[in-house]
Structure formats: C-alpha cells, structure tokens
C-alpha cells in the first residue's frame, strides 16, 4: 500500500441500466464495477488486470471523471471528485488524464496532429500563440519518440504505433500527475510492446506521474512492476506487489491468469494474454465460485471480503491458504 495516497477509490460501484420493451418496462442492469476500493500513491504504478468485461475500462473512466459512479467515491488528495465543479473540475481533468483503449477511435480523423495536440494545450494549460503551441506540440511528439514531420499528418496516415504515441502525447499535454493507460499495448505488434512499456516507465520518472495501467495479461504487469490489482466480474479479488502475485498468486483467478500467461523467459516480447471460458454470474457467495476448483461449501454461502492476508497483499478468498501450492510458473 502506498505511504501517502494521491488517489483513493472507495467502495466504487457502477451499474449500467438499459430499459426496453413496451414503455421501457423491461430492464437489464450490468454490474460493471462492484464495491471496488484501493489507493494510489504519488509516483505509484498499479496494473489493473482482468479478462474482457471485468470492468477495467469503466473503473478507469470513473477515475478520469468521464463516467459517473452509481455509488462510492473517488478522493483526489482528500477531495471528493464528484463534488468538483468549474475550475476545480478542470484542474482535476488536467491532473488525471486517460489514454484510451483504441487510439484510432479516440483521435479525430479530420484533425491533423498539430490540432490534436494544440487543443488540450490551449484549453487545459492556457498556452497561447501559434509559435508557442507549435513548439510545445513538437516537444510532446519528441517526448513520445516521434519526429516533427508527423505534426502535419492526419491519424490515418500514421501507423498503429505512431497513433498510440500521439494518444499518449495528447494525454501528456496537460502535464498530468496521474495517467490512466487503457490497454496501451494490446493493439500493437508484439515487437513494439516492450518499447511502449519502457516509454511509460521513462515518462513516469521524468514527469513524476503515477500510472494506472490497464491490461488483460500479467506479462505486461511484470514489465511494469509496482502493484497489481486483479478484477473479476467487476470485483477486485486481489491486490498486492506485482512480484508477489507473479511468484505466488493468492486468488485462484490470479493463479489461472498466471498459468495462462505466455512464458517470457528469454523472449523480447510480452504475451497475448489469456482466453478463458465465458464468466457466469452468481447471486450469492463468491463471484468466482462457478469456475473455482478450490470452492468449498462456505463459498456458495458467503462472499469473501477483500482483506490483507500478508503485508500489503489483499485477497478475497476463503481458501487462499487451504489450497495446494500452485504449479510453479516462471514469468521471468
């Protein structure tokens, strides 16, 4: 756990409701995020890991103040983000930025890169004057490893990797203190992934940022280090130092993720993640029970709370100690 928290997520819940049928009488609720709590310190790295649909993006969007939570709260330096208005909210958006999951969809296809970068520079930092805006835009491009000549191009004229670098540059324009990067390497060739993760690590140090990196595989978390938070069907089921989770995952789902992670020994790449059977929701007991090979009778009755089991390592499992040592999996 961080010594001092910059960001505290407290009991965050997000339900999406959809009505249909005659007069909208039928409804369906998706429980995207369920009672999630964790903290991030200054200069912290937290990797949020989980399979598709586990609520990672929704949680990231709430932290970036782009999605309203159904309940719970996010405190930034002790202040409730939901209560921020006007200049204070603008300031928060400046300090907490998000790099979106799909860089192509998030860049306006009709704007050239100069327009894409100069707009947040003008709006969020108050920088004015074409010369200064141009100079700062070039500086952002250089910071993310792009050449100046990219500045007059449109997004479709760039490669996937270049577009991702532009997305990162745009998020950096306001000099954020917290960067939320949503699956920043999943759409890139394996050969580029390590370069990008190294870029995030460098930017974090140079710009004194905390990074919340969303990913579906533990191999990416291994490269980033820091702490790892594992989500399953909207719930946080384990959070602790990445090195500990890789060496000895406490939660059976984290163990499955680890077993499904491609080995990285000697390979200059990070893996493709895991394809796991479709998740099934339960109404009572442990959310992971339908897939858990260690389930016992208590798991069907009582939901396990997320509790500290070893120092700074929290897990939501009744049987985390009473199961065999997981198969040794090398991800190093």
Ligand X SMILES: Nc1ncnc2c1ncn2[C@@H]1O[C@H](COP(=O)(O)OP(=O)(O)OP(=O)(O)O)[C@@H](O)[C@H]1O
Residue 299, interface with ligand SF4 (CB under 6 A)? yes
Q: How far is CA 109 from the centre of its chain?
A: 25
Residue 165, interface with ligand SF4 (CB under 6 A)? no
Residue 242 contacts which entry, ligand SF4, Mg ion, ligand X, none (Cβ below 5-8 A, type-dependent): none
Binding segment toward Mg ion, per CB under 5 A, in 23-31, 51-59, 187-195, 266-274: 51-59
Binding segment toward ligand SF4, per CB under 6 A, in 102-110, 116-124, 166-174, 284-292: 284-292
Q: What are phi and psi of 64, to 5 degrees?
A: -80, 5
Residue 288, interface with ligand SF4 (CB under 6 A)? yes
Facing residues of 39 across strands? 8
Q: Which of 173, 160, 166 lies closest to 146 in space, CA to CA?
A: 166
Using DSSP's 3-state secondary structure scheme, residue 216 falls into coil
Residue 292 contacts which entry, ligand X, Mg ion, ligand SF4, none (Cβ below 5-8 A, type-dependent): ligand SF4
What string marks each residue from 232 to 271 as x (binds ligand SF4 by CB under 6 A) or -? -------------------xx-------------------
For residue 264, how many other CB atoms are within 10 A of its CB? 18
Work out which of 5, 54, 57, 228 binds Mg ion, going by CB under 5 A. Answer: 57
3-state helix, strand, coil in the chain (%, to 5): 35, 25, 40
Handedness of CA 279, 281, 285, 287 (dihedral sign): positive
Residue 223 contacts which entry, ligand X, ligand SF4, Mg ion, none (Cβ below 5-8 A, type-dependent): none
Closest CB 282 distance from ligand X, rounded Å: 16
Task: Please say which residue, 29 or 142, places its beta carbon nearer to ligand X.
Answer: 29
Residue 317 contacts which entry, ligand SF4, ligand X, Mg ion, none (Cβ below 5-8 A, type-dependent): ligand SF4
Work out which of 289, 306, 313, 314 binds ligand SF4, going by CB under 6 A. Answer: 289
Tell me if 78 sits within 8 A of 49, measured CB to CB. no
Binding segment toward Mg ion, per CB under 5 A, in 55-63, 70-78, 139-147, 232-240: 55-63
What kind and span of H or E run contains 207?
helix 190-207
Task: Please say which residue, 81 or 286, places its beta carbon nearer to ligand SF4.
Answer: 286
Query: Would you give the DSSP letter of residue 70?
Result: S
Q: Which of 241, 199, 191, 250 lies closest to 221 in space, CA to CA?
A: 241
Whole-angstrom Cα distance, residue 326 to residue 244?
13
Site of interaction with ligand X (CB under 6 A): 16, 30, 32, 50, 52-58, 101, 216
Beta-carbon contacts of residue 17 (< 8 Å; ≥ 6 apart): 27, 28, 29, 30
Instruction: Please spell the DSSP secondary structure of 168-189, one letter per residue.
Output: HHHHHTT--SEEEEESTTTTS-
Q: Under the rule (CB under 5 A), what is the footprint of Mg ion?
A: 57
Q: Under the rule (CB under 6 A), what is the footprint of ligand SF4?
A: 251-252, 286, 288-289, 292, 294-295, 299, 304, 317-319
């Amino acid at each position: 756990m961080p010594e001092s928290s910059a960001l505290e997520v407290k009991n965050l819940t997000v339900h999406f409701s959809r009505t249909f049928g005659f007069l909208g009488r039928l409804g369906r609720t998706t429980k995207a995020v369920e009672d999630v709590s964790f903290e991030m310190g200054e200069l912290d790295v937290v990797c949020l890991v989980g399979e598709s649909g586990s609520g990672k993006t929704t949680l990231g969007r709430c932290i970036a103040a782009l999605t309203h939570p159904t309940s719970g709260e996010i405190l930034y330096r002790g202040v409730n983000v939901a209560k921020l208005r006007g200049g204070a909210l603008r300031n928060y958006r400046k300090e907490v930025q998000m790099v979106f999951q799909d860089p192509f969809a998030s860049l306006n296809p009709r704007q050239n890169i100069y327009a894409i970068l100069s707009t947040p520079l003008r709006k969020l930092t108050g920088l004015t004057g074409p010369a200064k805006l141009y100079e700062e835009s070039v500086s952002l491009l250089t910071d993310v490893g792009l050449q100046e000549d990219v500045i007059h191009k449109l997004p479709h004229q760039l490669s996937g990797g270049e577009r991702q670098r532009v997305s990162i540059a745009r998020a950096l324009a306001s000099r954020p203190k917290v960067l939320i990067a949503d699956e920043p390497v999943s759409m890139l060739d394996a050969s580029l992934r390590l370069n990008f993760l190294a870029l995030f690590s460098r930017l974090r140090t140079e710009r004194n940022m905390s990074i919340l990196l969303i990913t579906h595989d533990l191999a990416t978390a291994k490269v980033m280090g820091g702490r790892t938070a594992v989500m399953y069907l909207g719930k946080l089921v384990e959070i602790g130092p990445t090195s500990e989770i890789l060496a000895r995952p406490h939660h059976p789902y984290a163990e499955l993720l680890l077993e499904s992670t491609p080995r990285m020994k000697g390979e200059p790449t990070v893996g493709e993640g895991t394809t796991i059977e479709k998740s099934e929701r339960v109404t009572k007991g442990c959310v992971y029970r339908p897939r858990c090979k260690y389930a016992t009778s208590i798991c069907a009755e009582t939901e396990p709370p997320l509790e500290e089991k070893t120092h700074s390592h929290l897990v939501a499992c009744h049987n985390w100690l009473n199961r065999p040592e997981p198969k040794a999996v090398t991800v190093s």
